[in-house]
Chain A
Amino acid sequence: MLTSFYAVLFYLATLSLIGGLGIRIYQFASTPAPLKIPTPSAARTLWGVAFRMFREVAFFETLFRSNKWIWFFGILFHAGLLLVVLRHLRYFTQPVWFWVELIQPFGIYAGFAMLIGLTGLLLRRMILTAMRYISAPSDYLMLILLITIGASGYSMKFGAHTDIVAVKQFFLGLMVFDWQPIPADLPLLVHLLLVAVLMIIFPFSKLLHAPGIFFSPTLNQVDNAREKRHIVAWAADMEK
């Protein structure tokens, strides 16, 4: 029963995440950008744009200039999250990939970084008047959701251990539609339930910033309007 619930839940979550994101990414990609609107320091070549985008995604370069605190907590959280997720690949690969093995020890600290970052961001949001003013309930809940996922993860690591071999078998089984029993430990069930919630809401929430950044015209356009005529279909139609 429990196993079926979680199995179906994760199928749905995967569907929502991949399907939903696919649709949203298609929308982002297919919506035309009629005018050249890159912001400085706009690159004049495609390579320049790629380099700019890389710096934004990897280091949050702009954010560093805007606000050191958000940058600090933001980097801690995102870098931590990335490592944690990569470390989690061990539950989905058999044999575990070499480099996933390699990052296992860092993954543990990364989870702390993630939680510190998230807590910092949450406190900012709760304390600063301006942040309170701009926040909707979902903005707090998103942080609380991620914090709870992390906390429940750590409670398995340092508190009530779960049978991670069984967890792995459950997920490997899911991937080949051969359901294996899921360990009935509360922290694990909470952890997985919330992860599924995160996956489901991803395409419907502000988490769309992750794919969104790549489609942001102010960042991804080449500054060459004078050299090369930029025209999209609906604008070209006016010329007929």
Chain B
Amino acid sequence: MPETINPTNRIHNNNRPADPVTPYLDPLDMADLVPGCMSQSHSYEASPVHQEKLGFPGELVDDWHDKAINKMGDLVSKYKSLRVFLDSCVKCGACADKCHYGMGTGDPKNMPVARQNLFRSVYRRYFTTAGKYVPALVGARDLTIEVLDEWYSYFHQCSQCRRCSVYCPYGIDTAEISMAAREILDTVGKGQKYCNEIIGKVHEVGNNLGMPAKAMKATLEDFEEDLEDETGLEIKMPLDIKGADILLVTPSADFFAEPHIDGLLGYAKVFHEAGASWTMSTTASEAANFGMFIGSYENMRKVSLRIRKAAEELGVKRIIFGECGHAWRVAYSFLNTLAGPFDFLDSRYPVPQHICEYTWDLIERDIIKFDKSKNDEYRLTFHDSCNVARGSGMGDKPGDQFEIPRDILKATCNHYFDMEENTIRKETVCCGGGGGLLTDDLLDLRKKGASPRMKALSNAREENGVTHMAAICAICKSQFAKVMPGYDFEIDSILSVHQMVSNAIILTGAIDPDEEDDDE
């Protein structure tokens, strides 16, 4: 990591001012500790309607105390992770400065070990000998309504990004604990609006937006027209095609948000050029699975089974996931467990596959080619999304989830630069909006949590003139579009990886807009 920047190394281009916008800031600097400074952060609680749709009590139940403790016991007996993690932490402090929310807010309760202790202290009180008899000695405490509130606040200041877990000598993963805490909160009737409302929509309509099939069809037709205008080719956006080979499951943000849409157009071009038979589904029109964020196996399973059902009904041979971080974690690591076995699919392909694996394979086999100069206006870097980087894999080697997206980007553009080593790959810092926190009532937290990444990106701008950052996660993309302007980046400095693919791919028989320009 460079301590200072050698000015002669800087590359100047038109997109950036010649004078540094920001001095070098260590992205991983910890803000000064101010106990309790984030205790006011409290996202909206779910209304009874949203709670009950998921089978949770509408509001805080009278016997919340006993119910919470029972649920805790139940979870500890069902999840090895929880039991081992609760018993094993020695509070060595290795994780204390590793959380982006800790770094950004300076609230000591946002240090992973302290966040865990909000939960562990209660576990100790009710489930361990030491905590039962000498609570003060081991830092055990009763579950009170204040503690419950504190849980609500601080377990919604964790994006479940698992950065702490890759620094813990025992691999203790705060995400597991924050999922358990959220599940207990749901069980006693204190759920979060953002997540629970969205999960309700998925169960009811099939996607997070609650977008009905008709609207989806109309949107896709618009995209087909746009693609035809751009390329002169009939590039299809097929929906509910029975007997197609590939079912594409992509986050619903790909249908309406920028830069997500450009990614979707990219997938379509890749499928088109490869001559693939593919389809999307109206009932599985969502890759996201917020069931993971609330730690609910049942909800996660129900959302996953939708995808299996769509695959069966359409009679496809393969399932491919679009660019979505946590969806890929659920897909890669959990789908086979939740909704498998998938022996009705073609066993020559992994189930499921990531769109990046699919595209990279075509690149390697020379089936799709690029005109890199089409992306010359971009000086690009890549943000590893936590759930892809630390919650899943790709390809056939450990670490392919870092390399495949980078390899795709390098194949599609001439100017690629990585950010600082300890902020990428498995050490990547979260965008600040993952894990069910991408809601406006948590904007302050989101901005603070984004600061390590944004500092690293600003440093890349100073050092290499980086202008844009690509990602393969719908949440990251939305979050960065929101926070980038605060760091003097344009709102469209965040890109989809398949947007770069879309820009540079050479489509057989396409009209070349550049040549057309010459004619005019």
User: Closest Cβ of chain A: how far from B281's Cβ, in Å?
Assistant: 21
- Taking the complex as formed, is A124 at the interface, i.e. its CB lies under 8 A from any CB of chain B? yes
B69-102 CB contacts (< 8 Å) to partner A: 76-81, 83-85, 87-98
Contact with B along A166-188 (1 / 0, CB 8 A): 00000000000000000000000
Interface segment among B132-140, B192-200, B209-217, B452-460: the answer is B132-140
Question: Are A136 and B138 interface neighbours, CB within 8 A?
Answer: yes
Question: Are B390 and A130 interface neighbours, CB within 8 A?
Answer: no
Identify which of B84, B397, B398 contacts A215 (C-beta below 8 A): B84
Q: Which residue of A lies closest to B128 (CB)?
A: A204
- Taking the complex as formed, is B487 at the interface, i.e. its CB lies under 8 A from any CB of chain A? no
- Taking the complex as formed, is B23 at the interface, i.e. its CB lies under 8 A from any CB of chain A? no
Contact with B along A99-134 (1 / 0, CB 8 A): 000000000000000000000010011001111011
- Taking the complex as formed, is B219 at the interface, i.e. its CB lies under 8 A from any CB of chain A? no
- Interface SS majority for chain A: helix
- Taking the complex as formed, is B426 at the interface, i.e. its CB lies under 8 A from any CB of chain A? yes
User: How many angstroms from the CA of A229 to the CA of B335 in the assembled complex?
Assistant: 9
- Taking the complex as formed, is B129 at the interface, i.e. its CB lies under 8 A from any CB of chain A? yes
Question: Are B298 and A32 interface neighbours, CB within 8 A?
Answer: no
Known: A62-B167, A134-B111, A138-B130. Contact between A124 and B93, CB under 8 A?
A: yes
- Taking the complex as formed, is A2 at the interface, i.e. its CB lies under 8 A from any CB of chain B? no
- Taking the complex as formed, is B166 at the interface, i.e. its CB lies under 8 A from any CB of chain A? yes
Interface segment among B6-14, B169-177, B220-228: the answer is B169-177
User: Closest Cβ of chain A: how far from B217's Cβ, in Å?
Assistant: 31
- Taking the complex as formed, is A40 at the interface, i.e. its CB lies under 8 A from any CB of chain B? yes
List, in ascending order, chain A residues with CB within 8 A of B391's CB. 37
Question: Are A33 and B81 interface neighbours, CB within 8 A?
Answer: yes
User: How many angstroms from the CA of A131 to the CA of B114 in the assembled complex?
Assistant: 10
User: Closest Cβ of chain A: how far from B24's Cβ, in Å?
Assistant: 22
Question: Are B88 and A62 interface neighbours, CB within 8 A?
Answer: no
User: How many angstroms from the CA of A37 to the CA of B176 in the assembled complex?
Assistant: 9
Question: Are B33 and A230 interface neighbours, CB within 8 A?
Answer: no
Identify which of B78, B96, B350, B399 contacts A32 (C-beta below 8 A): B78
Known: A33-B79, A133-B108. Contact between A208 and B87, CB under 8 A?
A: yes
List, in ascending order, chain A residues with CB within 8 A of B87's CB. 24, 28, 206, 208-209, 212
User: How many angstroms from the CA of A44 to the CA of B399 in the assembled complex?
Assistant: 11
Interface segment among B336-344, B361-369, B498-506, B511-519: the answer is B336-344
- Taking the complex as formed, is A234 at the interface, i.e. its CB lies under 8 A from any CB of chain B? yes
Q: Which residue of A lies closest to B292 (CB)?
A: A35
Question: Are B35 and A216 interface neighbours, CB within 8 A?
Answer: no
List, in ascending order, chain A residues with CB within 8 A of B117's CB. 134
List, in ascending order, chain B residues with CB within 8 A of A234's CB. 78
Question: Are B337 and A39 interface neighbours, CB within 8 A?
Answer: no
User: Closest Cβ of chain B: how far from A134's Cβ, in Å?
Assistant: 5
- Taking the complex as formed, is A8 at the interface, i.e. its CB lies under 8 A from any CB of chain B? no
User: Closest Cβ of chain B: how far from A215's Cβ, in Å?
Assistant: 5
User: Closest Cβ of chain B: how far from A162's Cβ, in Å?
Assistant: 31
Identify which of B89, B176, B426 contacts A40 (C-beta below 8 A): B426
User: How many angstroms from the CA of A53 to the CA of B170 in the assembled complex?
Assistant: 10
User: Closest Cβ of chain B: how far from A82's Cβ, in Å?
Assistant: 16
A21-53 CB contacts (< 8 Å) to partner B: 24, 27-28, 31-37, 39-44, 48
Question: Are A34 and B96 interface neighbours, CB within 8 A?
Answer: no
- Taking the complex as formed, is B320 at the interface, i.e. its CB lies under 8 A from any CB of chain A? no
- Taking the complex as formed, is B484 at the interface, i.e. its CB lies under 8 A from any CB of chain A? no
User: Closest Cβ of chain A: how far from B167's Cβ, in Å?
Assistant: 4
Identify which of A66, A124, A204 contacts B167 (C-beta below 8 A): A66
User: Closest Cβ of chain B: how far from A240's Cβ, in Å?
Assistant: 13
Known: A40-B426, A63-B169. Contact between A139 and B91, CB under 8 A?
A: yes
Question: Are A39 and B332 interface neighbours, CB within 8 A?
Answer: no
Contact with B along A51-66 (1 / 0, CB 8 A): 0000010001011011
Known: A40-B166, A134-B114, A138-B138. Contact between A219 and B171, CB under 8 A?
A: yes
Binding site for B on A (CB under 8 A): 24, 27-28, 31-37, 39-44, 48, 56, 60, 62-63, 65-67, 70, 74, 121, 124-125, 128-131, 133-139, 141, 201, 204-206, 208-209, 212-213, 215-219, 223, 225-231, 234-235, 238
- 21 A-B residue pairs with Cβ-Cβ distance under 8 Å, sorted by A, are A31-B80, A32-B79, A34-B79, A37-B173, A40-B401, A41-B399, A44-B398, A48-B398, A56-B169, A62-B167, A66-B168, A70-B93, A125-B93, A130-B33, A138-B139, A206-B87, A206-B88, A216-B170, A216-B171, A217-B81, A218-B173
Seed contacts A41-B426, A234-B78, A235-B297; 4 additional CB < 8 Å A-B pairs: A31-B78, A206-B90, A212-B170, A217-B84
Q: Pick the 4 closest A-B CB pairs, nearest first.
A: A136-B139, A212-B88, A218-B171, A66-B167
